[in-house]
Amino acid sequence: MIKTGNPVISIYTEMTPNPETMKFVANKLLYPGKSIDFADEASAKPSPLAQELFTFPFVKAVFIASNFITLTKTAETEDWQDVIPSIKQFLKEYLEEGKSVVNEEELANVKAESSKWIKEQSLSPQPFAWQEGYGAFSYAKSQVPDVIRYIQNQEIHHRKETFLEEYKKFLDAFDIEWDERYIFKETV
């Protein structure tokens, strides 16, 4: 099980482009170098944290990444400002108590069953395998043209700097605590 614990946890929020979602950022790694998405309560079995978040009546979906959680609220919840304080307090207490964020053993079981089903259904033309690692960085709407240019010029750009080198620079630039053990390995 991946657990987290810290005597002093701080949580702050960031708006997302989707008004139905809110990002809760912690000063501690939650799921180092990985992310996991729970579209509903039924899918949250691998995460004790997500299971507890779904007990809030306004939580519709949960996304957990390295140092943040993004929650999607139900349509009936009118304003994020009504629920942010209770979520921040819950996350602070949960993380300070060092409770489990993701149960890796349970997640492995879910992946094994999913892989088996995908193979039985012949849903992939190539042999199916789960992706290792994940990274997500958010940018302001005003930066969209820069992001588009970056994507269009990636092939040229990565002749000078590998994706791994750039990825580590992004982690540093965004002040994301990281550990070499959880960084993906480039294939040759």
Structural domains of the chain in order of their starting residue, each with its CATH number: 2-107 (3.30.1370.70), 139-188 (no CATH)
Four-residue CA torsion sign, 73, 91, 56, 3: positive
- What's the mean pLDDT when you consider all of the chain? 83
Reference 47, options 34, 129, 178; nearest CA is 34
Q: How far is CA 94 from CA 11, 34, 53, 102, in A?
A: 11, 20, 10, 13
36-85 pLDDT, tens digit each: 888 889 888 889 999 999 999 999 999 998 899 999 998 888 789 989 99
pTM above 0.75, yes or no: no
More confident residue, 28 or 132: 28
Residue 6's pLDDT is what?
47
